[in-house]
Copies of this chain bind each other. A is one copy, B any other.
Amino acid sequence: MTKEVRKELEKLGNKVLGDIEKTENPNIDIPLRTLSNVIFDKKSGQLTLGNKSAKRYFFNVAHAKKFMQTMMVAGFCNSLLEEKIHTSIRDMYYNLKRTLPQSDENTFDDQAESDPLIVDLEVTIDVLREQLHLTTDRKGIVAGNVVIEDRGDSIDWSKLGSGGWSIPSTVDEIELKKVNAEFVLVVEKNAGFERLHEDKFWQKQKCILVGTGGQPSRGTRLLIQRLNSEHDLPVYVFTDADAYGFYIYSVIKSGSISLAHVSDRISTPEAKFIGLTPSDIFDYNLKKCTIKLKEVDIKRAKELLEYEWFKKNPKWQKEINLMLEKGVKAEIEALSHRGLKFMSEEYLPDKLKNRDFLD
Protein backbone atom coordinates (compact mmCIF):
# COMPACT_ATOMS: atom_id res chain seq x y z
CA MET A 1 0.00 0.00 0.00
CA THR A 2 2.80 2.40 0.98
CA LYS A 3 4.13 2.04 -2.55
CA GLU A 4 0.86 3.22 -4.13
CA VAL A 5 0.58 6.13 -1.69
CA ARG A 6 4.14 7.24 -2.42
CA LYS A 7 3.39 7.02 -6.13
CA GLU A 8 0.43 9.37 -5.63
CA LEU A 9 2.58 11.82 -3.67
CA GLU A 10 5.22 11.64 -6.41
CA LYS A 11 2.59 12.28 -9.08
CA LEU A 12 1.51 15.40 -7.19
CA GLY A 13 5.11 16.62 -6.97
CA ASN A 14 5.75 15.89 -10.65
CA LYS A 15 2.61 17.77 -11.65
CA VAL A 16 3.89 20.91 -9.89
CA LEU A 17 7.39 20.36 -11.27
CA GLY A 18 5.89 20.08 -14.76
CA ASP A 19 4.10 23.43 -14.31
CA ILE A 20 7.40 25.04 -13.33
CA GLU A 21 9.27 23.52 -16.28
CA LYS A 22 6.55 24.75 -18.63
CA THR A 23 6.85 28.17 -16.86
CA GLU A 24 3.16 27.93 -16.03
CA ASN A 25 1.71 29.09 -12.71
CA PRO A 26 2.17 25.99 -10.47
CA ASN A 27 -1.18 24.75 -9.21
CA ILE A 28 -3.03 21.81 -7.73
CA ASP A 29 -6.66 20.84 -8.14
CA ILE A 30 -8.40 20.17 -4.82
CA PRO A 31 -11.91 18.66 -4.60
CA LEU A 32 -14.26 20.90 -2.58
CA ARG A 33 -15.30 19.69 0.85
CA THR A 34 -18.01 22.26 1.46
CA LEU A 35 -21.59 21.24 2.24
CA SER A 36 -22.62 22.19 -1.31
CA ASN A 37 -20.40 19.40 -2.61
CA VAL A 38 -21.52 16.66 -0.18
CA ILE A 39 -24.17 14.34 -1.57
CA PHE A 40 -25.94 11.22 -0.35
CA ASP A 41 -25.31 8.45 -2.83
CA LYS A 42 -28.48 6.38 -2.73
CA LYS A 43 -26.89 3.46 -4.54
CA SER A 44 -24.06 2.94 -2.08
CA GLY A 45 -26.01 4.37 0.86
CA GLN A 46 -23.11 6.65 1.78
CA LEU A 47 -22.36 10.33 2.00
CA THR A 48 -19.86 11.19 -0.67
CA LEU A 49 -18.23 14.17 -2.40
CA GLY A 50 -19.61 15.60 -5.61
CA ASN A 51 -17.28 16.59 -8.45
CA LYS A 52 -16.71 20.27 -7.74
CA SER A 53 -13.10 21.28 -7.18
CA ALA A 54 -10.96 24.42 -6.87
CA LYS A 55 -7.44 25.23 -8.02
CA ARG A 56 -4.76 26.41 -5.58
CA TYR A 57 -2.06 28.56 -7.28
CA PHE A 58 1.47 29.42 -6.25
CA PHE A 59 1.47 32.89 -7.92
CA ASN A 60 -1.60 34.28 -6.24
CA VAL A 61 -1.36 36.50 -3.17
CA ALA A 62 -4.35 34.78 -1.56
CA HIS A 63 -3.04 31.25 -2.30
CA ALA A 64 0.78 31.49 -2.10
CA LYS A 65 1.21 30.71 1.62
CA LYS A 66 -1.32 27.88 1.59
CA PHE A 67 0.31 26.46 -1.54
CA MET A 68 3.69 26.44 0.20
CA GLN A 69 2.14 24.86 3.31
CA THR A 70 0.40 22.17 1.26
CA MET A 71 3.70 21.26 -0.37
CA MET A 72 5.40 21.13 3.06
CA VAL A 73 2.74 18.76 4.39
CA ALA A 74 3.02 16.54 1.31
CA GLY A 75 6.82 16.49 1.67
CA PHE A 76 6.54 15.67 5.37
CA CYS A 77 4.21 12.73 4.68
CA ASN A 78 6.57 11.50 2.00
CA SER A 79 9.44 11.37 4.50
CA LEU A 80 7.24 9.60 7.07
CA LEU A 81 6.62 6.89 4.48
CA GLU A 82 10.28 6.83 3.47
CA GLU A 83 11.48 6.50 7.07
CA LYS A 84 8.64 4.11 7.95
CA ILE A 85 7.52 6.13 10.98
CA HIS A 86 4.12 7.33 12.15
CA THR A 87 3.32 10.49 14.04
CA SER A 88 0.45 12.66 15.24
CA ILE A 89 -0.86 15.71 13.41
CA ARG A 90 0.24 17.81 16.39
CA ASP A 91 3.82 16.56 16.10
CA MET A 92 3.72 17.33 12.40
CA TYR A 93 2.72 20.90 13.14
CA TYR A 94 5.60 21.39 15.58
CA ASN A 95 8.01 19.71 13.20
CA LEU A 96 7.12 21.95 10.27
CA LYS A 97 6.88 25.17 12.26
CA ARG A 98 9.80 27.51 11.63
CA THR A 99 10.62 31.07 10.69
CA LEU A 100 11.44 31.62 7.03
CA PRO A 101 15.02 32.88 6.58
CA GLN A 102 15.43 36.69 6.48
CA SER A 103 11.83 37.34 7.48
CA ASP A 104 9.42 37.38 10.42
CA GLU A 105 7.12 35.02 8.57
CA ASN A 106 6.46 31.60 10.14
CA THR A 107 5.70 28.55 8.02
CA PHE A 108 2.78 27.84 10.35
CA ASP A 109 1.47 29.95 13.22
CA ASP A 110 -1.15 27.58 14.51
CA GLN A 111 -2.14 23.93 14.21
CA ALA A 112 -5.46 25.14 12.82
CA GLU A 113 -3.49 25.98 9.67
CA SER A 114 -1.92 22.55 9.17
CA ASP A 115 -4.86 20.28 10.09
CA PRO A 116 -7.14 21.16 7.13
CA LEU A 117 -4.24 20.76 4.70
CA ILE A 118 -4.00 17.10 5.68
CA VAL A 119 -7.61 16.64 4.62
CA ASP A 120 -6.90 18.59 1.42
CA LEU A 121 -4.10 16.16 0.70
CA GLU A 122 -6.28 13.14 1.55
CA VAL A 123 -8.95 14.21 -0.87
CA THR A 124 -6.57 15.40 -3.62
CA ILE A 125 -4.53 12.23 -3.94
CA ASP A 126 -7.41 10.06 -2.69
CA VAL A 127 -5.74 8.28 0.22
CA LEU A 128 -6.49 7.99 3.93
CA ARG A 129 -4.60 10.12 6.40
CA GLU A 130 -3.63 6.87 8.15
CA GLN A 131 -1.95 5.77 4.92
CA LEU A 132 0.11 8.97 5.06
CA HIS A 133 1.28 7.70 8.49
CA LEU A 134 -0.49 10.45 10.42
CA THR A 135 -2.12 9.03 13.53
CA THR A 136 -5.20 10.01 15.48
CA ASP A 137 -5.86 9.31 19.13
CA ARG A 138 -6.28 5.65 19.95
CA LYS A 139 -9.85 4.77 20.93
CA GLY A 140 -11.96 1.64 20.93
CA ILE A 141 -11.46 -1.94 22.13
CA VAL A 142 -12.18 -5.30 20.59
CA ALA A 143 -12.50 -8.94 21.71
CA GLY A 144 -13.45 -12.11 19.85
CA ASN A 145 -12.23 -15.24 18.17
CA VAL A 146 -9.82 -13.49 15.82
CA VAL A 147 -6.10 -13.73 15.25
CA ILE A 148 -4.35 -10.78 13.62
CA GLU A 149 -0.80 -9.94 12.66
CA ASP A 150 0.44 -6.47 13.55
CA ARG A 151 4.05 -5.30 13.25
CA GLY A 152 5.24 -8.88 13.19
CA ASP A 153 3.34 -9.91 16.34
CA SER A 154 0.57 -12.48 16.18
CA ILE A 155 -2.27 -11.33 18.44
CA ASP A 156 -5.21 -13.45 19.55
CA TRP A 157 -8.21 -11.27 20.47
CA SER A 158 -9.67 -14.14 22.48
CA LYS A 159 -6.71 -14.33 24.85
CA LEU A 160 -6.32 -10.82 26.21
CA GLY A 161 -7.87 -11.32 29.64
CA SER A 162 -10.16 -8.60 30.87
CA GLY A 163 -8.30 -6.01 28.76
CA GLY A 164 -9.30 -6.63 25.17
CA TRP A 165 -7.21 -5.26 22.31
CA SER A 166 -6.85 -1.50 22.14
CA ILE A 167 -7.61 -0.48 18.54
CA PRO A 168 -4.76 1.66 17.19
CA SER A 169 -5.13 4.68 14.97
CA THR A 170 -3.84 2.82 11.94
CA VAL A 171 -5.53 -0.50 11.26
CA ASP A 172 -5.04 -0.78 7.52
CA GLU A 173 -1.62 -2.33 8.11
CA ILE A 174 -2.88 -5.15 10.32
CA GLU A 175 -3.63 -8.51 8.76
CA LEU A 176 -6.80 -10.38 9.74
CA LYS A 177 -5.37 -13.89 9.74
CA LYS A 178 -8.11 -15.98 11.34
CA VAL A 179 -11.66 -14.72 11.81
CA ASN A 180 -14.04 -17.12 13.52
CA ALA A 181 -17.28 -15.24 14.12
CA GLU A 182 -20.79 -14.87 12.77
CA PHE A 183 -21.34 -11.15 13.30
CA VAL A 184 -19.91 -7.97 14.80
CA LEU A 185 -21.59 -6.27 17.76
CA VAL A 186 -20.59 -2.61 18.13
CA VAL A 187 -21.31 -1.14 21.58
CA GLU A 188 -21.32 2.60 22.20
CA LYS A 189 -20.52 2.38 25.92
CA ASN A 190 -17.32 1.01 27.43
CA ALA A 191 -19.25 -0.12 30.50
CA GLY A 192 -21.49 -2.19 28.22
CA PHE A 193 -18.45 -3.66 26.50
CA GLU A 194 -16.94 -4.65 29.84
CA ARG A 195 -20.10 -6.37 31.07
CA LEU A 196 -20.56 -8.27 27.81
CA HIS A 197 -16.88 -9.15 27.74
CA GLU A 198 -16.98 -10.47 31.31
CA ASP A 199 -20.04 -12.58 30.49
CA LYS A 200 -18.08 -14.01 27.52
CA PHE A 201 -20.86 -12.83 25.24
CA TRP A 202 -18.59 -13.01 22.19
CA GLN A 203 -17.84 -16.64 22.97
CA LYS A 204 -21.43 -17.69 23.58
CA GLN A 205 -22.83 -15.79 20.60
CA LYS A 206 -19.85 -16.39 18.28
CA CYS A 207 -19.33 -12.71 17.59
CA ILE A 208 -16.70 -9.99 17.61
CA LEU A 209 -17.32 -7.41 20.30
CA VAL A 210 -16.27 -3.83 19.56
CA GLY A 211 -16.45 -1.04 22.17
CA THR A 212 -16.28 2.44 20.70
CA GLY A 213 -16.35 4.61 23.84
CA GLY A 214 -18.72 7.17 22.31
CA GLN A 215 -18.38 8.34 18.70
CA PRO A 216 -16.05 5.74 17.12
CA SER A 217 -12.56 6.79 16.04
CA ARG A 218 -11.56 6.54 12.38
CA GLY A 219 -9.48 3.46 13.23
CA THR A 220 -12.47 1.74 14.82
CA ARG A 221 -14.73 2.59 11.87
CA LEU A 222 -12.12 1.27 9.44
CA LEU A 223 -11.82 -1.96 11.43
CA ILE A 224 -15.61 -2.47 11.45
CA GLN A 225 -15.67 -1.87 7.70
CA ARG A 226 -12.87 -4.38 7.09
CA LEU A 227 -14.59 -7.07 9.18
CA ASN A 228 -17.77 -6.48 7.19
CA SER A 229 -16.31 -6.28 3.69
CA GLU A 230 -13.43 -8.77 3.94
CA HIS A 231 -15.23 -11.38 6.02
CA ASP A 232 -18.87 -10.78 5.13
CA LEU A 233 -19.86 -10.31 8.76
CA PRO A 234 -23.15 -8.55 9.55
CA VAL A 235 -22.63 -5.51 11.79
CA TYR A 236 -25.10 -4.65 14.57
CA VAL A 237 -24.82 -1.32 16.37
CA PHE A 238 -25.91 -1.02 20.01
CA THR A 239 -26.25 2.51 21.44
CA ASP A 240 -28.25 4.56 23.93
CA ALA A 241 -31.84 5.35 22.95
CA ASP A 242 -31.14 9.01 22.20
CA ALA A 243 -30.31 11.28 19.27
CA TYR A 244 -26.57 11.04 19.97
CA GLY A 245 -26.71 7.24 19.90
CA PHE A 246 -28.70 7.18 16.66
CA TYR A 247 -26.18 9.60 15.14
CA ILE A 248 -23.33 7.23 16.07
CA TYR A 249 -25.18 4.49 14.18
CA SER A 250 -25.69 6.85 11.26
CA VAL A 251 -21.97 7.71 11.10
CA ILE A 252 -20.93 4.05 11.18
CA LYS A 253 -23.44 3.25 8.43
CA SER A 254 -23.36 6.22 6.07
CA GLY A 255 -20.39 8.37 7.07
CA SER A 256 -20.34 11.98 8.17
CA ILE A 257 -20.36 15.28 6.33
CA SER A 258 -16.87 16.30 7.44
CA LEU A 259 -15.40 12.96 6.34
CA ALA A 260 -17.60 12.45 3.25
CA HIS A 261 -14.48 12.04 1.08
CA VAL A 262 -13.52 8.80 2.86
CA SER A 263 -16.99 7.29 3.45
CA ASP A 264 -16.33 4.54 0.94
CA ARG A 265 -13.39 3.35 3.03
CA ILE A 266 -14.59 3.84 6.60
CA SER A 267 -18.36 3.43 6.59
CA THR A 268 -20.42 0.24 6.56
CA PRO A 269 -23.75 0.68 4.70
CA GLU A 270 -24.85 -2.84 5.68
CA ALA A 271 -24.78 -2.01 9.41
CA LYS A 272 -28.05 -2.45 11.28
CA PHE A 273 -29.30 -0.98 14.55
CA ILE A 274 -30.03 -3.50 17.31
CA GLY A 275 -31.06 -1.12 20.12
CA LEU A 276 -31.85 0.57 22.41
CA THR A 277 -34.93 1.82 20.62
CA PRO A 278 -37.43 4.14 22.27
CA SER A 279 -39.93 1.25 22.01
CA ASP A 280 -37.58 -0.89 24.12
CA ILE A 281 -38.11 1.50 27.02
CA PHE A 282 -41.76 0.47 27.12
CA ASP A 283 -41.44 -3.13 25.87
CA TYR A 284 -38.81 -3.96 28.48
CA ASN A 285 -40.30 -1.92 31.30
CA LEU A 286 -37.45 0.56 31.72
CA LYS A 287 -39.69 3.57 32.33
CA LYS A 288 -38.22 4.09 35.81
CA CYS A 289 -34.78 4.58 34.24
CA THR A 290 -35.39 7.21 31.60
CA ILE A 291 -33.97 10.73 31.38
CA LYS A 292 -36.05 13.72 30.35
CA LEU A 293 -35.16 15.14 26.90
CA LYS A 294 -33.34 18.48 26.99
CA GLU A 295 -33.86 21.13 24.36
CA VAL A 296 -30.69 20.08 22.53
CA ASP A 297 -31.92 16.45 22.44
CA ILE A 298 -35.18 17.57 20.84
CA LYS A 299 -33.37 19.73 18.30
CA ARG A 300 -30.99 16.90 17.31
CA ALA A 301 -33.86 14.39 17.07
CA LYS A 302 -35.79 16.70 14.76
CA GLU A 303 -32.70 17.04 12.56
CA LEU A 304 -32.33 13.26 12.40
CA LEU A 305 -35.93 12.94 11.18
CA GLU A 306 -34.83 14.86 8.07
CA TYR A 307 -31.74 12.73 7.26
CA GLU A 308 -32.47 10.88 4.05
CA TRP A 309 -31.53 7.48 5.47
CA PHE A 310 -33.75 7.92 8.53
CA LYS A 311 -36.48 9.38 6.36
CA LYS A 312 -36.80 6.44 3.99
CA ASN A 313 -37.57 3.98 6.80
CA PRO A 314 -40.99 4.44 8.46
CA LYS A 315 -39.79 2.38 11.44
CA TRP A 316 -37.09 4.95 12.19
CA GLN A 317 -39.63 7.75 11.84
CA LYS A 318 -41.90 5.94 14.28
CA GLU A 319 -39.12 5.42 16.83
CA ILE A 320 -37.78 8.99 16.73
CA ASN A 321 -41.29 10.38 16.92
CA LEU A 322 -42.08 8.09 19.87
CA MET A 323 -39.04 9.51 21.68
CA LEU A 324 -40.17 13.08 20.97
CA GLU A 325 -43.74 12.34 21.99
CA LYS A 326 -42.81 10.67 25.30
CA GLY A 327 -40.09 13.26 25.94
CA VAL A 328 -37.61 10.75 27.36
CA LYS A 329 -34.38 8.98 26.42
CA ALA A 330 -32.58 6.00 27.99
CA GLU A 331 -29.06 4.67 28.28
CA ILE A 332 -27.75 1.15 27.65
CA GLU A 333 -27.06 0.92 31.38
CA ALA A 334 -30.81 1.23 32.04
CA LEU A 335 -31.04 -2.48 31.16
CA SER A 336 -29.28 -3.17 34.48
CA HIS A 337 -32.56 -2.25 36.11
CA ARG A 338 -33.72 -5.70 35.02
CA GLY A 339 -30.60 -7.38 36.42
CA LEU A 340 -26.91 -7.12 35.57
CA LYS A 341 -26.96 -10.07 33.16
CA PHE A 342 -30.26 -9.10 31.54
CA MET A 343 -28.43 -7.43 28.64
CA SER A 344 -26.20 -10.40 27.81
CA GLU A 345 -28.62 -13.21 28.60
CA GLU A 346 -32.01 -11.88 27.54
CA TYR A 347 -32.15 -8.54 25.75
CA LEU A 348 -29.47 -9.09 23.10
CA PRO A 349 -30.12 -12.82 22.52
CA ASP A 350 -33.85 -12.02 22.01
CA LYS A 351 -33.09 -9.25 19.53
CA LEU A 352 -30.69 -11.50 17.62
CA LYS A 353 -33.06 -14.48 17.59
CA ASN A 354 -36.00 -12.41 16.34
CA ARG A 355 -33.77 -10.45 13.96
CA ASP A 356 -35.36 -7.38 15.50
CA PHE A 357 -33.17 -4.73 13.83
CA LEU A 358 -33.69 -1.25 12.41
CA ASP A 359 -32.09 -0.52 9.05
Contact = CB atoms under 8 A, between A and B. Distances in A.
Interface of A: 80, 83, 85-88, 90-95, 97-99, 106, 135, 137-138, 141, 148-155, 159-170, 173-174, 190-191, 194-195, 198-199, 213, 288-289, 331, 333-337, 339-341
Contacts of A138: 141, 163, 190, 194
Given A164-B166, A336-B91, A288 B97 contact: yes
A342 to B, nearest CB: 10
Contacts of A340: 80, 83, 85, 87, 91, 95
A334 to B, nearest CB: 5
Contacts of A166: 141, 163-166
A314 to B, nearest CB: 31
Nearest to A138: B190
Nearest to A79: B340
Contacts of A336: 87, 91-92, 94-95
B164 A153 contact: no
A168 B143 CA distance: 13
Given A159-B153, A166-B166, A334 B94 contact: yes
Contacts of A92: 336
A168 B159 CA distance: 14
Contacts of A191: 87-88, 90-91, 135, 137
Nearest to A165: B163
Contacts of A95: 336-337, 339-340
A286 to B, nearest CB: 9
A164 B195 CA distance: 22
Given A85-B198, A88-B194, A333-B88, A163 B168 contact: yes
A165 to B, nearest CB: 5
Contacts of A334: 94
27 contacts: A85-B340, A87-B195, A87-B336, A88-B194, A90-B331, A91-B340, A92-B336, A94-B289, A94-B333, A94-B334, A94-B335, A95-B339, A98-B288, A99-B288, A106-B288, A138-B163, A150-B161, A150-B163, A151-B161, A154-B159, A155-B159, A155-B161, A160-B165, A161-B174, A162-B170, A162-B174, A169-B194
A91 B195 contact: yes
